[in-house]
Amino acid sequence: MISLRNVTTAFAARGKDPVIAVEDVSLEIPQGSIQGIIGFSGAGKSTLLRNINLLERPTVGEVEVAGIELTSLDDEELRQARHQIGMIFQGFNLVNNLTVLQNVELSLKFAGERNRSVRQVRAAEALEIVDITEKATSYPAQLSGGQKQRVAIARALATRPEVLLCDEPTSALDPFTTATVLQYLADVNRDLGITVVIVTHEMEVIKALADDVAVMEGGRLVEKFPSADLHREDFTPETSIGRYLMSEGISVDRGLSAAGGAR
């Protein structure tokens, strides 16, 4: 279970009022579920995601992951607790002068695993999960975008986390590669029971993967519902999700089902 309670995150702006990126957000994400977070650019999605592992420490509010209140930990305790939380990014964030295997091993090094052979075995296991063992000795520049993201998923899984945070994981990928990466994320969730939180601006990603969807607007969480409802409910242009869907070119005035199940 991930629990965000009254989280507000403000960024200081020189000579101006602070930017309130996230404002008073409370959200409970059940263990083993897939939570999508969607909204316009600048809505606060990435900041909220980074609040979950305290990459961005909330200005106000509490964050609890797997029974541990992260916001109450000191730096060393937080470093330990973060092994429970993997993260992947739109830009993959691989280290270019390390091989695929070394990239995955690196996260185990950061997690404090001192035994090199243990690191190698665990890194190899993680590469197997995303079927990319044959690239173990390749360098990132020798991989396609989809392969790089699979390596990034392996790196995130190597510490055997309970939670995987995904920040626009498929935005740099073509539709076919997107489908493959989403399938691996679905497998990881189903087979390993890992809770997945995915920030995206692509409604197709939400529909393909998420159990629940949260809509953000202006730093606030304005709606939350099961993503299955995307296929059923009528979303009027007055609703946040309606505005969002319209921005994607999906007609909402007669409801999603009338618009052909949203594309």
Residues 6+ apart with CB under 8 A from 14: none
Shortest separation between residue 162's beta carbon and ligand ATP, angstroms: 23
Which residue's CB is nearer to ligand ATP, number 41 or number 97? 41
Instruction: Between 17 and 75, name the residue whose CB sits nearer to ligand ATP.
Output: 17
The smaller minimum CB distance to ligand ATP, of residues 11 and 225, is found at: 11
Q: Which residues bind ligand ATP (CB under 6 A)?
A: 11, 19, 21, 39, 41-47, 201
- Quote the crossing angle between the two packed helices 175-192 and 145-157, to the nearest 10°: 20
Q: Which residue has the tokens 């690191």?
A: 119
Of 100 and 197, which CB lies nearer to ligand ATP in the complex structure? 197
Question: Of 200, 117, 98, 118, nearest to 160 (Cα)?
Answer: 118
Closest CA to 101 of 65, 126, 82, 76: 126
Q: Which is nearer to ligand ATP, 39 or 119 (CB)?
A: 39
Rounded to a whole number of angstroms, the minimum distance from the CB of residue 72 to ligand ATP is: 23
Closest approach of ligand ATP to the CB of residue 251, in Å = 23
Q: How far is the CB of 91 from ligand ATP (least distance, A)?
A: 12
Nearest to 220 by CA among 2, 5, 11, 24: 24
| Cα distance between the two ends of the chain | 32
SS3 content of the chain, % helix, strand, coil (to 5): 40, 25, 35
For the bound state, the minimum distance from the C-beta of residue 219 to ligand ATP, rounded and expressed in Å, comes to 7
